[in-house]
Structure 1
Amino acid sequence: MSIKYSVIERGEPGVAGGGKKKWYAQVKTDGEMTIDDLVKEIEKFSSLSEADIRGVIIAVENEIQKGLASGKIIRLDKLGSFYPSLSSGAADSEKEFNASLIKGAKVNYRPGKRISDILKTATFSKSK
């Protein structure tokens, strides 16, 4: 297996007219894996039923939602960590800052070591 890529031309960011253009690799995704696909694959090497696997996945999703909404870092061992972050406007002083300046929240993901390591050893092939 390898990660497929295509090559695209991009200009220099912030330079009027794009400046000197160069060529860069871009991942060419090869489909997607859905929950259904994951369940089928897990069923192959597990004694759990489809319903059990789906139940666990849904329960994990629900608990991640609750934890993130409470401002917690969710550490899933080798899978990685999910953590909330904020985007906000600025105030001239700490006293002047209030929650109305917060523009929104998002979820960040930091992969675990096994996931990071597999990408370090990935091979690449140019898409046709």
Structure 2
Amino acid sequence: MAIKYKLIQKGEPGVVGGGTKKWYANMATDGEQTVDDIVKAIEKFSALSEADIRGVIIALENVIQDALTNSKIVRLDKLGSLYPSLSSEGIATPEEFTAQKHIKNVKANYRPGKRITDALKAATLQRVK
């Protein structure tokens, strides 16, 4: 298997008419892997039943949600880490700030573990049309 990409042409940001256009590599995803697919794949490497695996995945999702919504970093050893982040607009004084009005985005970020990062670095690349 290879990481697939395609080339797309982009103009220069902020330049009227796009300026000098250049070609850039862009990910070309190849479908998706659902929880059902993951459960079947794990079943091949485990003595656990489909129901047990599915239960663990659902429980993991619940535990991660709870941890992230309580401002915790979730470290999943070799899988990597999930951590909450937010962005807000700048305000002149702290007294003016309200979360509802000034926090614009709350999300979860993922930082892959070393094995995943190494696998991606070593992966072959394949250009698709």
Give the TM-score category using the shorter length.
over 0.9
Give me the whole-angstrom Cα distance separating, in 2, the residues matched to 1:96 and 1:8.
44
Q: Distance in 2 between matches of 1:97 and 1:30?
A: 44
Partner SS state of residue 95, structure 1: helix
Gaps of 5+ in 1: none
Instruction: Identify the residue that residue 107 of structure 1 maps to in structure 2.
Output: 108
Structure 2: distance between partners of 1:12 and 1:6: 19
Number of residue pairs the alignment of both structures matches: 128
Structure 1: how far apart are the matches of 2:19 and 2:123? 32
TM-score (norm 2): 0.93
Percent sequence identity over matched residues? 66
**Distance apart, 1:104 and its partner CA:** 2.9
Structure 2 residues not aligned, in runs of 5+ = none
Distance 2:16 2:24 in 1: 20
C-alpha RMSD of matched pairs (Å): 1.2
Structure 2 partner of 1:71: 71
Q: What does residue 48 of structure 1 align with? A: 48
**1:80 corresponds to which residue?**
80
Q: Mapping of 1:1-128 within 5 angstroms?
A: 1-100=1-100, 101-128=102-129
| C-alpha distance in 2 between matches for 1:26 and 1:110 | 20
> Aligned with 2:95: secondary structure?
coil
**In structure 1, how many angstroms separate the alpha carbons of the residues matched to 2:113 and 2:23?**
31
Aligned-residue offset at 1:103 = 2.2
